[in-house]
Structure 1
Amino acid sequence: MATAVQPIALVTGATSGIGEVTALELAQQGYHVVLLARSAEKAARTRQQTQDAVGLGHRVDVLLCDLADISQIQRAAAEFNQRYPQLDLLVNNAGLLFGKPRQVSVDGLEMTLVTNHLGPFLLTALLLDKLLLSPAARIINVASMAYKMAQPRLNDLGQERSYSPLQQYGNTKLYNIMFTQELARQLRERNITNVVTNSLHPGVIASNFGTNAKGWLAKATSLLRPFMISPQKGAETTLYLATAPEVGQVSGGFYIKKKAEAVKHPFNTPANAQQLWQESERLVKRNFFLD
């Protein structure tokens, strides 16, 4: 009798916080989990801990990639596409808050923008063919209620003018939501029914979030940590969207505590979502759909 094929899940930001919890839980539920991480040392440690927890009957692999580096995303996606037959679940979980002064990546892109939005946008595009090969694929984008702080400018996504760390973080979380909505629309437009995508607010998590910010932002997040929820609690909505049968046919939603919520922001219009999509394609130098 043929053995069942393990579904494959790729989780970004999988070495700490809700990403680590998500990866472990998925492995325990029978997924072949690929941990996408920047640090080889942290990834090796997380992989070993996860493997020890689930036993040798479950596969846990590592894919090294810094989502702020376009060439690394291209290399990691090419490696994934070569190694694996399909992708059943993509969890775009990685996200960071950078402080002042404004920082740019090796590609000249503002760090919050590329890490939180452009990197996941490009990674998803490059893995799309493998998602299409799954009988029922899910793309989950971890956003945040911080989207309410957003004040985006389509002609200045990188905030070259009047840079604000918290506002830019809020901007990127709104972009996560709008990317999800527009991706869902474009999948429907192309009659692609085997791939769905949803976004979520995980809660305010007690993790390493904010440590990149330095200065007063890092101190503020440290002081607030006792009032934050655990990574285990924070991962609940991600895992719900990843595995619950009732959301397997739902696409384009934004969820809080496992419930769909309306996204109330004046920038969140279909026209702006399409412009954001086009500007994102321009910045990463890649059309999302190659057709």
Structure 2
Amino acid sequence: MLHLFNLLHLSGGNSGIGKETAVALALRGARVIIACRDPERAAKAVREIKMRSHNMNVLHMHLDLANLRAIREFCKAFLQKEKRLDILINNAGMPSVLDWTDDNFSMCFGVNHLGHFLLTNLLLGRLKESAPSRIITLTCSNYKYQKLDFQDLNYNLLPFFTYCRSKLANIYFTQELARLMEGKGVTAYSVHPGYVSSAWTCHYSILFRMLMQVVMFMFFVPCELGAQTVVHCAVADGVTQHSGCYFSDCRPAALRPFAKDPSVAKKLWEASERLVGLP
């Protein structure tokens, strides 16, 4: 089993799949850091994670993935305080909403892809120093409904399609990250947790929330079950040979052919570097 010292858990670690993942890893003795933008919800989540895991080594740090400057400030603070980073879990995700980040990116693309892209790159040095280490990025099987348009990566006309594109970007990001980290002791995985009954509907109207509560009760899985593939990729011994792969139900899963194009993954990486201002 991978030695656990630090788990960095992104915004979303205070609820849903993120919180259940944090509990599962805290139960295994991990030092857990959840990064959230809402300090009150984060503090409440930390108390619950400690109570359920009997692990007092759980804390939170402030992070707003919709603001590139805030991401840089978070990484600077994290690197000053923490000398190891064994597992980075990019759990945060915005649903299909028509909104914009502080840097004028569509909310889905800005948070779901660019925020994780910048954060991961700024922490790669610590991950390599802590090798063997792992990076897990949550995606969704909805990726298959859209392809990227490099003339308009910031597409924000139809929220559901924007969400699908951001989830496809997560997959390409993981593939190119795994290629770049080959031989450096850092492995990367994209994970579809299933359709999970969580609080993602909070961004929508009351009527929609009521409707989705019925749908989720009938067809979606609980958060604890949805976290299992994330935990598997974080701690299982056999996954390291599958770096860059897409996981579902605790095993590598097939992707649509267009989602396995290394030239597109490389092109997205280079475009993302320009968009977030990485050298």
Task: Give the TM-score band, short-chain normalised.
Answer: over 0.9
Deviation at 1:203, TM superposition (A): 0.4
TM normalised by structure 2 equals: 0.93
When residues 274 and 216 of structure 1 are mapped into structure 2, their CA distance, relative to the original with a 3 A threshold, is farther
Q: 1:221 offset after TM fit, Å?
A: 3.2
- 1:285 is aligned to 2:277: yes
Distance 1:257 1:251 in 2: 16
Q: Alpha-carbon deviation of 1:50?
A: 1.3
The match for 1:77 is 75
Task: Note closer, same or farther for the CA distance 1:210–1:224 as it changes in structure 2 (3 Å cut).
Answer: same
Q: How far apart in 2 are the matches of 1:182 and 1:202?
A: 21
**CA distance in structure 1 between the aligned counterparts of 2:212 and 2:168, rounded to whole angstroms:** 21
Q: CA deviation at 1:55?
A: 3.0
Partner secondary structure for residue 283 of structure 1: helix
In 2, are the aligned partners of 1:88 and 1:137 still within 8 Å (CA)?
yes
* Structure 1 stretches of at least 4 aligned residues deviating more than 2 Å after TM superposition: 52-56, 213-223, 265-268
Conserved? CA contact 1:148–1:265, under 8 Å = no
2:188 match? 197
For the 8 Å contact 2:85–2:126, the answer to whether it is kept is yes
> Residues of 2 paired with 1:141 and 1:50: CA distance?
21
Is 1:177 aligned to residue 175 of structure 2? no
Q: Secondary structure at the match of 1:209?
A: helix
Matched letter for residue 246 of structure 1? G
1:16: Cα distance to partner?
0.6
Query: What is the match of residue 29 of structure 2?
Result: 30
| 8 A contact 2:147–2:168 mirrored in 1 | no
Q: Aligned partners of 1:148, 1:216: CA distance in 2, in Å?
A: 28
Using the TM superposition, give the Cα deviation of residue 219 of structure 1 relative to its aligned residue in structure 2, in angstroms: 5.5
1:142 matched residue in structure 2: 138
Residue identity over aligned pairs, in percent, reads 33
Structure 1 CA distance for aligned equivalents of residues 101 and 266 of structure 2? 25
In structure 1, runs of 5+ residues without a counterpart are: none
Scaled by the length of structure 1, the TM-score of the pair is 0.90
Who is 2:160 aligned against? 166
Q: Which residue of 2 aligns with 1:95?
A: 93
1:8–1:34 Cα contact (<8 Å) kept: yes
Counterpart contact for 2:4–2:86, Cα < 8 Å = no
- Cα RMSD after superposing both structures: 1.7
Structure 1 counterpart of 2:79, one-letter code = N
C-alpha distance in structure 2 between counterparts of 1:218 and 1:168, whole Å: 20
What is the CA-CA distance between 1:220 and the residue it aligns to?
5.1
1:248 to 236, 240, 248: 240
* SS at structure 2 position matched to 1:141: strand
